[in-house]
A and B are shown apart, each in its own frame.
Chain A
């Protein structure tokens, strides 16, 4: 009884938080109270008021508007990163698990290398090569997180490939690719969804951490990460500047984690009874 209640509560709170994020992210450009890039030097570092609900930053830009625009960028970066990590990871994982042999060993060697490779340098290098924009960071973080997907997918593929129905599919003359798509991949869905959900949270965090170190999505386009980084000198003087984006990141993470728990409980058969 309690368990079901908690599941519902998790899904509800998490879903609401992420739903609001998605909604704001998609529609932000339509209804921000101010232009998020518009500077106003006469209204620098204003504390929260009727006009500026969460105050203004060091260029007199409205914090609410920037948070809304930042939600879009942060969510987009996270979403695309997770998608690219999943696509890449599934592809490599399935190939490695299904083909096996030397290709598998080579792929896993590269995979383990990437796992041992700090994302910071990957991000910096790729952003420098691709030009400083969100695509660089998406590619970099996508590459950094793909190896975890590869591991999960490969493990799942290895565990199901010898099952009878796979064998049966082969015996009745279905092609390898068809078998893979039709019978093997669906088995990976649950773990991937669970992993992707937590990954979404990691990317939001990673993007803000990279921005904090000066390696993230470059300003003036707002992301929560670079807003936090820019707010640091004013921590004492204008605390709303750091509290607001920090809180946004934390709430998003909370939503993701709750939603992830609910999804895990539903999808991951091992955890179903928990």
Chain B
């Protein structure tokens, strides 16, 4: 088991390295440079050259890469070009915001969607199933930022129930923190409910067709017990994989929701970094996201046997 985990962790190394190289090359191919953006239209040749020198951008690119990589290996992701802050604490700080929202949304979505999907599967082709599937498909079809904007308009502006901008961390004031993140969480939850419901339904349908369920039913085991004891554990396993995938994808794609609700999250940091050509921040964010993605999937795989006794992690 331990060897499996170590092997999986070691496998992240080439992935991370490839991501690092790809990001580095891609960023340097993109026109526009951070020195120009910082100086804007008041830049002169001298001030530009001076700033580039200060930022180390006058070095040959391969050298810049090796220098950066060397620092990364020592655990130093460098400092942000735009605000001179160390990148790693910045990322961790922002990640906390994104993770709070993503995890909350995925948990809430699962709590609602898994039972709903099972219910639909259990009463397959009933009107109830029809309603659940239609609802899930509908939610799947709505763009998250559109939903977010409409919710913002309704609850923030028209009704005035919730604050529209800002963020308060839970450590500071849990009550107010909740007021700030309830809308983003609700938006993400609604969107993810669609995906998870459909997956849970499909998985359950498959399980319900298996022989041992038929056996159990034939033996006269009550329907509730069949579902709870026999179907749920097995149907949850594939759903769990999907939830893991969503978790990984959301971390990469949360920028949109963070933009709508002006949350200081990781996605926003990345997008702002891209626009400002803040190389260390963008490189750091992507490296971090890639590693997180791998780790989340590893965690999902490790937990898989917990839900599906037929499978062992190895």
Contacts and interface: CB of A to CB of B under 8 A. Distances in A.
Contact of B259 (A113, A205, A212, A252): A212
A162 B130 CA distance: 40
Given A117-B19, A209-B253, A125 B29 contact: yes
A256 to B, nearest CB: 8
Nearest to A5: B125
A219 B34 CA distance: 25
Interface in B254-289: 255-256, 259, 270-271, 274-275, 282, 286, 289
Q: Which residue, of B130, B146, B256, B275, has the highest number of chain A Cβ atoms within 10 A?
A: B146
Interface in A234-266: 235-236, 242, 246, 249-254, 256-258, 261
B274 A118 contact: no
Contact of A209 (B19, B142, B145, B209): B145
Nearest to B32: A128
A113 B141 contact: no
Interface in B228-257: 248, 252-253, 255-256
A80 B144 CA distance: 24
Contacts of A250: 138, 141-143, 146
| 10 nearest A-B pairs in the assembled complex, by CB-CB distance | A253-B141, A125-B26, A2-B125, A118-B252, A116-B290, A113-B18, A128-B30, A246-B146, A254-B141, A116-B293
Contact of B290 (A110, A113, A120): A113
Nearest to A124: B274
Interface size class of B (residues with CB under 8 A): 35 or more
Nearest to B158: A236
B39 interface: no
A274 interface: yes
Interface in B101-152: 124-126, 130, 137-138, 140-146, 149
Contacts of B130: 6
Contact of A254 (B125, B138, B202): B138
A205 B248 CA distance: 18
A171 interface: no
Interface in B17-59: 18-19, 22-23, 26-27, 29-32
Contact of A118 (B124, B125, B126, B270): B270
A177 B113 CA distance: 45
Contacts of B144: 209
Nearest to A129: B29
B206 interface: yes
